[in-house]
Structure 1
Amino acid sequence: MYQMFPLLAISLIVYAVLALTGAAGPLWYEIVFIELPMVSGELWSVSWGDVFLLGSMGLLFVELLRATKTGSDSIMNHALSVVVFVVALLLFIIVKGFGNSIFFLFMSMTFLDFMAGFIVTTVTARRDLAVGGGGA
């Protein structure tokens, strides 16, 4: 079951809880997480939205690695990734609190996840057919 679960769904759930409950504030993604002085003399402000995107990119990396596996669990993972993308798209378009750049970039990651998964699975299946002597 672990192999079938799309990891970006975790990020979607975290964002939805923070946005819909308002527990962290209506614009939680703009709250400064840390400020780091740079050698250039500038101050780099890292917001919670930046941290959210960084964590989501880490999960996307793991999803892309998992996309190289074949099997029924992998196919189900890709199908569930499509569901995560569609839910994210609908939230972005319809629900207040989701129409911002942070969530748009996250939604783009969910699109990349399912597209890369299907493309990698298709290329892998073609290669397997060619090696097995059944393909063109």
Structure 2
Amino acid sequence: MISNIPLMIVPLVVFNLVVAGLTGIGGADPWATQLYSMQMLSGGVWRMTLGDLMIVLSLALLFFEIMKSTRTSNASVVDHLLSTFVFVAFLVEFLLVPSASHSLFFILMAMAFFDILAGFTVSLRSAGRDVNFR
């Protein structure tokens, strides 16, 4: 049952927690906060912001979500349905909540959409291989 929870709900919750907790402090964009910088051999400086870290972690979750979609069981249907609800939550929040009109939120929403596409595509491809004609 726990394995059916879509992992893409984590970025949705984290985004809302960060925005709710940090927007009252000076009104600055919390996602532009620099977490780390490193001098490169080329002479350039590489900077990691909170938004960049959120994208990397969300990509890792998307990878595991796609791995979950390769299961061929009745539970995968529930997983796809819940992933669709997560995408709808992203979409509704993007359209209706002012603090969600952010490029980071749009990228997270696109990842949730790709999760749905990948899940259904993998399921349909694997279901086609399971059919035997005699």
Q: What interval of TM-score do these two structures reach, taking the shorter chain for normalisation? A: over 0.9
Question: Cα distance 1:41–1:24, how it changes in 2: closer, same or farther (>3 A)?
Answer: farther
How far apart in 2 are the matches of 1:16 and 1:74? Answer: 27
Aligned to 1:56: 58
Identity of matched residues, %? 32
Aligned to 2:15: 15
Secondary structure of the structure 2 residue equivalent to 1:3: helix
Specify the code of the residue in structure 2 equivalent to 1:3. Answer: S
Matched residue count: 132
Secondary structure of the structure 1 residue equivalent to 2:4: coil
Question: Cα distance 1:47–1:68, how it changes in 2: closer, same or farther (>3 A)?
Answer: same
What's the RMSD between the two structures over aligned residues?
Answer: 1.5
Q: Check conservation: 1:81, 1:113, Cα contact below 8 A.
A: yes
Runs of 4+ aligned structure 1 residues displaced above 4 Å come to: 23-26
Q: Select 1:88's aligned residue among 74, 87, 90.
A: 90
Aligned-pair CA distance for 1:21: 3.2
TM score, norm. by length of structure 2: 0.92
For the pair 1:98 / 2:94, whether they are aligned, the reply is no
Q: Select 1:109's aligned residue among 105, 108, 111.
A: 111
Aligned to 1:5: 5
- Give unpaired runs (5+ residues) of structure 2: none
Q: Check conservation: 1:30, 1:48, Cα contact below 8 A.
A: yes
- Give unpaired runs (5+ residues) of structure 1: none
